[in-house]
Structure 1
Amino acid sequence: MRGASATLATAVDLHLHTRHSDGDETPAELARRCVDAGLRVAAVTDHNTVAGIAAFEQALGGRLTLVPACEITAAWRGEETHCLAYFVDPHDLRFQERIGGVHDAELAWWRTWIDRAHAIGVPLTWDDVVRRLGGHRVAYVGDYLALLLEAAHGDPRFAAYPADAYDRLVADWCRPGRPLHVEHPEMPDVVDVLSWIEEAGGVAVLAHPGRFVTGMDGSECAALLEPLREAGLAGLEVWTSWHTPTQSSHLAEVCDRLGLVATAGSDYHGVRVKPWAPRPGLLPALPADPPAVIDALHDRRPVRTSTKAGL
């Protein structure tokens, strides 16, 4: 699914990725991008890890405000969804353990997939992946597919698949019943993830929710999201490179109806991974008052009974 063209600049970007997950840039490189883009507030939201926050903050050197965050994979209504966790305590050991379990399950899935490719005669090993992509990150899906095609060069079974056009490769080889199909790991329920975020002192926002509410009117959207709001959901990512201006306007109205915070984030991964989000802070549509988004999120932070990490 390709996102919408991002052409308008904002000073607040609450959805950014580094090489600690599937981004293309180190935390220091991303920090330079954010400063050069004129951001005033930024959040690194790597998938199922908070490992990049400290290096990003150090590289920023106080030049803009950091919101500690991550993006957590969850299951909702039988589909994969993502929750953005803002203002979480990155030193909370229980939170680290919980999201680490999701991360490790995804990493193990890719290792099994590589083993499956090797078993059908593709000369690709996990050592190759570690050497090229790193050993403890869940990288961009296209990078694994690119390594497969590179290793299978000269194999007539894979000769028809062009580089950087992976949809047919996935359909032919990775769908259920195909040689490279591996059952995906079970994802935590979104309601459980909402509780993780709250217990870590954070604020939960549903990432790029447009695909879930396409074709719904305001009342239908409110009915769909009300159970999540009751379970602790504080906001929706309204302004994002995944949404058209019309979708953003619709979701902003839903936030008003439910009393949710409408947030903004480019989902920047680097220009190679998501070229429609070519730099931090670029969006197809913008909130009227970006700094007010931060104030609204901050006001939703739960009161913790203990500040000790891991409690």
Structure 2
Amino acid sequence: MLELHCHTTYSDGQLTPTELVITAAEAGVKALAITDHDTLSGWEEAFQAAASYNIEIVPGVELSTVYNERSLHILGFYPDKNKLENPLKERLNGRKNRANQILEKLAQLGYPIELEAMGEGVAAARPHIARAMVKAGYVQSPQEAFERWLGEHKPAFVQYDKFSSLDGIQLLKSCGAVPVWAHPYLYQGGKIETVFQELLEAGLMGIEVYHPHHSDSQIQRLEKLCEAYGLLKTGGSDYHGGGTALNLFNLSLNLLEPIKQTAYNLKEAVIKSQIPSPYLG
């Protein structure tokens, strides 16, 4: 009944925060994390909607970072919004620039498109471009757009701005957020165990163990890794709307309390340290 990885229309999800809350309630979810890419803009609407459906909202974010020149995502739970919003503005601007570069490449390849205007705080993403390509009649589905043009190593692909995973972890902790490695077995830049060690040294505090793209054996390996290093275990459907269902793992709410306590301890430590973060100036 715990969902700790979901996206809304403020990043690359297909449902508004209100629609996501309603869908989660229908699926039996009792605690729902809003983890849009590089933006916190969906929180307020989700909090308002959740009041009518007896759902607890877990405020979160999914940072798009790079490790060994490959995409690696870091989830952050319970960040201080006032501290994290300004640093995220740079990430949002980087996403807009990336989207424009992709559009330029597509136009040069003979596939000019225009994106619909996006509201304040929306994180531009490749799925927005993929849906625009479908609307323009260039492809039959967003999946085809990724397979032919937008996926890694495809003709219109553009890499993220180089914001390192290590810096991402430190940024989240400086804002009182619990940093968690999202879907480790989707990472394609090195062996999980090797990458994990450096993330751990940077301050990683948890691993997303339960994910639709993790096999049973991979889940067992990650569970053992968490137990060996005393890390938090999280999980979720990585819900964007459409194909994947919510509440896939029927995770216990008992996983949430240690995350809350860790976030509280982090915020207390940040206050007591009185050391300004280099990311907040």
TM bucket (normalised to shorter chain) is 0.7 to 0.9
Matched, 1:108 2:89: no
Bigger relative contact order (CA 8 A; separation at least 6): 1
Name the SS of the counterpart of 1:67 in structure 2.
strand
Identify if the C-alpha distance between structure 1 residues 247 and 214 changes in structure 2 by more than 3 Å, giving closer, same or farther: farther
Matched, 1:89 2:75: no
Corresponding residue for residue 277 of structure 2? none
Deviates more, 1:19-28 or 1:54-63: 54-63
Corresponding residue for residue 271 of structure 2? 305
Matched, 1:73 2:59: no
> 2 CA distance for matches of 1:137 and 1:75?
21
Name the SS of the counterpart of 2:96 in structure 1.
helix
Deviation at 1:228, TM superposition (A): 1.7
> 1 CA distance for matches of 2:104 and 2:26?
42
Do 1:18 and 1:44's aligned partners in 2 also have CA atoms closer than 8 Å?
Answer: yes
- Provide the alpha-carbon RMSD of the alignment: 3.0
Matched, 1:170 2:149: yes
- What number of residue pairs does the alignment pair up? 270
Matched, 1:40 2:41: no
Identify if the C-alpha distance between structure 1 residues 78 and 67 changes in structure 2 by more than 3 Å, giving closer, same or farther: same
Deviation at 1:49, TM superposition (A): 0.3
Corresponding residue for residue 247 of structure 2? 281
Identify if the C-alpha distance between structure 1 residues 201 and 31 changes in structure 2 by more than 3 Å, giving closer, same or farther: same
> 1 CA distance for matches of 2:189 and 2:152?
27
> 2 CA distance for matches of 1:246 and 1:254?
12
> 2 CA distance for matches of 1:267 and 1:174?
20
Q: Match of 1:186, as an amino acid?
A: D
Deviation at 1:163, TM superposition (A): 3.5
Name the SS of the counterpart of 1:82 in structure 2.
strand
Q: Match of 1:35, as an amino acid?
A: A
TM-score, scaled to structure 1: 0.76
Deviation at 1:191, TM superposition (A): 1.2
Do 2:13 and 2:240's aligned partners in 1 also have CA atoms closer than 8 Å?
Answer: yes
Within the candidate set 233, 239, 247, 2:210 is matched to 239
Do 1:17 and 1:268's aligned partners in 2 also have CA atoms closer than 8 Å?
Answer: yes
Unpaired segments ≥5 residues, structure 1 = 1-10
Deviation at 1:168, TM superposition (A): 4.4
Identity of aligned residues (%): 23
Do 1:102 and 1:187's aligned partners in 2 also have CA atoms closer than 8 Å?
Answer: no
Identify if the C-alpha distance between structure 1 residues 59 and 257 changes in structure 2 by more than 3 Å, giving closer, same or farther: same
Identify if the C-alpha distance between structure 1 residues 193 and 174 changes in structure 2 by more than 3 Å, giving closer, same or farther: closer
Do 1:68 and 1:90's aligned partners in 2 also have CA atoms closer than 8 Å?
Answer: no
> 1 CA distance for matches of 2:78 and 2:152?
37
Identify if the C-alpha distance between structure 1 residues 121 and 230 changes in structure 2 by more than 3 Å, giving closer, same or farther: closer
> 2 CA distance for matches of 1:148 and 1:15?
27
Deviates more, 1:187-196 or 1:298-307: 298-307
Give every structure 1 segment of 4 or more consecutive aligned residues whose post-TM-superposition deviation is greater than 6 Å.
213-216
Identify if the C-alpha distance between structure 1 residues 187 and 298 changes in structure 2 by more than 3 Å, giving closer, same or farther: same
CA deviation map 1:107-127 (0-9, x unaligned): 2111232234335554433xx
Do 1:74 and 1:80's aligned partners in 2 also have CA atoms closer than 8 Å?
Answer: yes
Corresponding residue for residue 56 of structure 1? 46
> 2 CA distance for matches of 1:214 and 1:104?
25
Unpaired segments ≥5 residues, structure 2 = 275-279
Identify if the C-alpha distance between structure 1 residues 46 and 120 changes in structure 2 by more than 3 Å, giving closer, same or farther: same
TM-score, scaled to structure 2: 0.84
